Amino acid sequence: MDVNGRSLSGDIAALASPGGQAAALTAAVALVEVITPVQVVLAYLYVLPLILLSETARPRTIWSFVALTCGLTLSNLVIPEFTPISGSVLMNRLLVCGALVLTARQCLRIQGLQRQRLHLEGQLAVEDLRRDFVATLAHDLKTPILGTIATLRSLSSSRQSREGPLLERTLATIERGQSRALAQIQTLLEVYRNDAEGLVLQSVEVEFTRLVEEVIRELSALAQERQLTLRLGFGEASQWHPHLLIGDGAQLRRLVENLLLNAIHHSLRGGQIQLVLENRSNGLQLRVADGGPGVPEQEISKLFQRFQRLSEERPGSGLGLYLCRQIVNAHGGTIGLRSRPGGGAEIEVLLPQGSAEPPPEGG
């Protein structure tokens, strides 16, 4: 009894499936076609089981079904009665066959679009999961690092007079290391937030020259630790003068910090990093040139993408230049990199001075 019950329930499930329903409908349409006069064309009803079948069937099965129904449609010309076939009757049935073929093509196209939709939904789900993971991880990492930096500063101020300069230098080195780790976490968070929400600018007039000088002072200790010299020049002007532009001061500072950190990380010890500010006809240009080994030509186009690094041995997360590109694009500017003939690499940024509007899409 149990076996028969399972068999009966299996048969019912098979009939309830799209394939079972399509088979039942096909048989019904074929029967109606046989008992209907040949002048009356009902074969277009094969479209109904075709649509049902296309929900789950593979392309090969769908085309086999089309071939079967087209054969049934044309066979009805001779099966019911052996009478002369008029041209209009033949044409009507050929048109039905053409309609079945077109319907099958559209069904397959819809199948393809559905697969693409599911693939995109899967990608979005993975991206959401990754973003949540990154945000959670970054938050969990920031807390102990901030605690360590605060403790180091407190220890440095309380013990400096008793322990001397050696302890001061040691604590300063540890603090710089923790601060760089915190900066990398902040970069990671900003990159994902900008990708998800877009970079919203708080635009004001910025004195860019002083901003660059402040960043140079802040990173001078790191440069000295690597025995590097930082030099700021003004191109043909050859002397200091303010460069003003409209932009987001915090984001522009982030831009200069990342460019300078990138140059410090990739410069050889004892080298020199040159920063040059110049007014151009189409905006303000900032060039940052390092004294490192340079960048292979085939790698240049990849450096402004996420997580792209020249090698695993080099420091950095592969996000700094990507964030730079986000900031420059949001300000309506351009950024590029080239290898210098004498060695090293130079990054060139061009920022419009009178507008902070982003470039149009596709521009």
* Average pLDDT over every residue of 265-293: 88
Give the pLDDT of residue 287.
93
Q: How much of the chain, in percent, has pLDDT values that exceed 90? A: 13
Average pLDDT, the chain: 77
Lowest mean pLDDT among 41-45, 57-61, 167-171, 340-344: 167-171
How many Å is the maximal CA-CA distance in the chain? 118
Distance (Å, whole) CA 7 – CA 112? 35
Within a 10 A sphere around the Cβ of 201, how many other Cβ atoms?
Answer: 20
Within a 10 A sphere around the Cβ of 34, how many other Cβ atoms?
Answer: 12
Reported as a single tens digit per residue, the pLDDT across 224-266 is 888 899 999 987 766 777 888 999 888 899 899 889 988 888 8
Residue 322 has pLDDT above 90, yes or no: no
Give the pLDDT of residue 146.
64
Q: Strand 334-339: give its sheet, edge to edge.
A: 229-233, 272-280, 283-289, 345-351, 334-339
* Average pLDDT over every residue of 275-297: 86
Q: For residues 282 and 236, is the Cβ–Cβ distance under 8 A? A: no
pLDDT band at 147 (very low <50, low <70, confident <90, very high): low
Q: Domains of the chain (ranges plus CATH)?
A: 1-198 (no CATH), 204-351 (3.30.565.10)
* Average pLDDT over every residue of 347-363: 64
pLDDT band at 132 (very low <50, low <70, confident <90, very high): low
Give the pLDDT of residue 348.
93
* Average pLDDT over every residue of 289-302: 77
Give the pLDDT of residue 296.
76
Give the pLDDT of residue 75.
82
Choose among 73, 82, 74: nearest CA to 50: 73
Give the pLDDT of residue 13.
46
Q: Are strands 345-351 and 283-289 parallel, antiparallel or unpaired?
A: antiparallel
Reported as a single tens digit per residue, the pLDDT across 151-210 is 666 666 665 555 566 666 666 767 766 776 676 677 667 766 766 667 778 889 999 999
DSSP codes, 179-243 = HHHHHHHHHHHHHHHHHHH------EEEEHHHHHHHHHHHHHHHHHHTT-EEEEE-GGG-S----
Choose among 329, 188, 346: nearest CA to 259: 346
Give the pLDDT of residue 288.
93
Q: How much of the chain, in percent, has pLDDT values that exceed 70? A: 69
Q: For residues 109 and 54, is the Cβ–Cβ distance under 8 A? A: no
Q: Please tell me the total number of residues recorded for the chain in this structure.
A: 363
* Average pLDDT over every residue of 270-294: 88
Give the pLDDT of residue 162.
54
Give the pLDDT of residue 28.
87
Lowest mean pLDDT among 11-15, 47-51, 121-125: 11-15
Lowest mean pLDDT among 52-66, 104-118, 176-190, 334-348: 176-190
Residue 360 has pLDDT above 50, yes or no: no
**345 vs 80, more confident:** 345
